[in-house]
Amino acid sequence: MSTVVHQNDLNAVTTPSVAPETLSTEPRWKPWFCFIVMLAGLQAGFGHIMRLSQWGVNAGINCAVAEGDAWLHGRLDLAHEPGTDLVHNRRCDSGYVNGRVFNLLGPILSILTVVLAPINHALTGRTDFWLPWLYSLLVFWPLPIVGYVLFRRQAADSAWGAVLTASWLAGTAVLPNLFFASRGELGQIHHLMSQTGLLLLAADLLGRQRIWPALIGLAIATWSRQMTFLYALPLLFFAWRRARLAPALIGIAMIAAPLLTLNTLKFGNPLDFGYRYMYVGREDADVAKNCLDHGMFSIGFFPRNFKHMHLKLPEFDAGLMGLTPHVDWYGVSIWSTTPLLLMVLFAARQWWSDVRRRVLMLATLPVMTGILFYHDPGFIQFGYMRYALDFIPIWLVVIAPWTRGGWRTYFTIACTAWSMLYFSLLQFD
C-alpha cells in the first residue's frame, strides 16, 4: 500500500511508492504566482546568461535557416557567393558534397523557416531572417511553460514544480545552451527544442497516453536530435498496451519520412545523415580523424566518452576573476554538475515499481549507449556534457515525485544550489 503524502507538506517524512496522479487542491492564484516567481528568479540570477533581449537568428549564422530559405527558392543546397572556396569557407554545421554545401543537422528549423516565411516576409521583407519575438516564442518560451506544467504535475505541488523546473533550466546543460542559442548557434538550438519534445513525450506516456501528444514530442525531438528517435520504442510499447499501435506506427513513419527523404535527396542514401561530410577540408581536427579512422560509431570511443560523461570531475582555477571551473571541451561528469540525478539511484525502488516510469527510464539506455559510442564527445561543451540532454529531462521527470519529503527536500535544494552555482561560474564567451 502506498503512503499518502499531503501535497502541500514539503517536510513530510514519508515518500510515496507510486507517483501521485493528481494535484492537490490549491488556490487558483498559486500556480500562476509560482510560475511568475520562478521566471523572475531565473531572470534575476541568470538573465545575463540567457540574454533573452539579444536573441536572434538568420541565414547568415544558421545553416538550417539558410536551408529553409533555399527550399523557398527551389533548391536543396545552401546559397553561396560566386567564387567562394566552398571546401574551407562554410559554416561548421554544413558539409561539402559533390561540389555543393548542405545543412547536416536536423530539419526542424528549416521546416519552421518555411512555415514562418509569410510572417517574416510581410514584416521584414525577408525570408532568411526570423523576427526575434518569433524566435524566442518558438525556442525559449516552450521550455519554462512545458517544463513547469509537467514538473508541477509530477511533484503534485506548484511551488515544488517551480523548483524542479528552475533546477532543470539553470542547473543542467540547458543553461549554456540558452546562451549559445541567443547567438543563433544551430546545435545548441536543437538541444533546446529537443528538450521541449522530450518533455511532451514524457508527459503523455506518464499521463493519459493518448499517443498523439507523444508523437508530436517525438517529432520535435527527432527533427532536432536524431538519436532521440529511439524513444519511439517506449511509445510503441504503450501504444500496443492501449490498442493504438496502428496510429502510432503511422505517426512514427511520418516522423521518419522527412529525414529519410532528405538523406536520399542530399546524399543518395536514406540512412546516410551526411555527418562525415562535415569533415571535408577539416581532416586535421580530432573529431574528424576519429570519424575518418574509425567511423561515426565505434566501441573504441566508449572508454573516453564514458569517462567524461560519468567519471570526470570538474577542476577549478583560482585567479584574478575568482574561482572558475577549469574547462574540458570533452565534458565532465553529469553526476558532478547535476548531482540531483543521484536521485535516480536513491529512488530506484520507487520508480521501478511504476511500469510507466520503468519503461521510460529503460528507454534512455539505448540513447545513452549511442552517445557513448559516438565519435564526437560534443563540441562546445566546456565544463559540462551537452549530449546528455538527450536523456537528462526524462530522468528528472521520472524522479520528480520523490525529490521532496524529509531529507530528500534538503538534498534537492542543496543539489540545485550547487548546480546553479557551478553553471553560473562557467565562462561561455
User: In terms of Cα–Cα distance, which of 426, 152, 164 is closest to 315?
Assistant: 426
- How does strand 129-130 pair with strand 57-58? antiparallel
**What pLDDT does 46 receive?**
96
The predicted structure's pLDDT at residue 173: 96
The 10 Å CB-count burial string (b at 16+, else e) for 273-288 is: bbbbbbbbbeeeeebb
DSSP 208-251: T--SHHHHHHHHHHHTT-GGGGGGHHHHHHHHHHTT-HHHHHHH
* Amino acid, res. 347: A
Comparing 15 with 396, the larger pLDDT belongs to 396
Whole-number Å distance between alpha carbons of 36 and 16: 28
Residue 425, φ and ψ in degrees, nearest 5: -85, -20
- Highest mean predicted confidence (pLDDT) among 6-20, 69-83, 312-326, 341-355: 341-355
Of 214, 242, 238, 241, nearest in space to 228 by CA: 214
Of 92-101, 113-122, 281-290, the one with minimum mean pLDDT is: 281-290
> Does 322 have pLDDT greater than 70?
no
Specify the pLDDT at position 328.
72
CA–CA distances in Å: residue 270 to residues 97, 99, 225, 297: 15, 20, 17, 18
Confidence at residue 280, expressed as pLDDT on a 0 to 100 scale: 85
**Contact between residue 313 and residue 325 where contact means Cβ atoms under 8 Å apart:** no
Q: Which residue has the higher pLDDT, 8 or 129?
A: 129
Average pLDDT of span 360-377: 96
- Give me the pLDDT at residue 25, please: 79
Task: Report how far residue 357's alpha carbon sits from residue 80's, in angstroms, rounded to the nearest whole number.
Answer: 48
Q: What is the pLDDT of residue 186?
A: 94
Share of the chain above pLDDT 90, in %: 74
Q: Average pLDDT of 296-319?
A: 89
Q: Above 50 in pLDDT, residue 265?
A: yes
Exposure on the CB side of residue 365, measured as CA atoms within 13 A: 7
Tell me how long the chain is.
429
What is the structure's pLDDT at 81?
Answer: 67
Higher pLDDT, 148 or 88: 148
Report which DSSP code applies to 326.
E
Question: Chain-wide mean pLDDT for the chain?
Answer: 90
User: Which tens digit of pLDDT belongs to each residue from 172-213?
Assistant: 999 999 999 999 999 999 999 999 999 999 999 999 999 999
Mean pLDDT of 163-177: 97
Give percent above pLDDT 70 in the chain: 90
Average pLDDT on 373-392 reads: 90
Lowest mean pLDDT among 141-145, 147-151, 181-185, 202-206: 181-185
Q: Rounded to an integer, what is the distance from CA 86 to the centroid of its chain?
A: 31
* pTM of the shown model: 0.92
pLDDT band at 23 (very low <50, low <70, confident <90, very high): low
Mean of pLDDT values over 108-120: 96
More confident residue, 201 or 427: 201
Q: Structural domain boundaries of the chain?
A: 48-425
62-76, 139-153, 199-213, 307-321: segment of lowest average pLDDT: 307-321
Confidence grade of residue 13 (pLDDT, cut at 50, 70, 90): very low
For 110, the grid coordinates are: 528549416
Q: Bigger pLDDT: 12 or 229?
A: 229
The mean-pLDDT minimum among 43-57, 80-94, 382-396 falls in 80-94
How confident is the model at residue 88, as a pLDDT?
Answer: 65
Cα 399 from Cα 360, distance rounded (Å): 11
Mean pLDDT, residues 302-308 taken together? 94
Query: With 60 as the cut, is the pLDDT of residue 17 above it?
Result: no
Tell me the C-alpha distance between 429 and 423, whole Å.
13
As a dihedral over the C-alpha atoms of residue 403, residue 404, residue 410, residue 412, rounded to 10 degrees, the angle is: 20
Residue position matching grid coordinates 500500500: 1
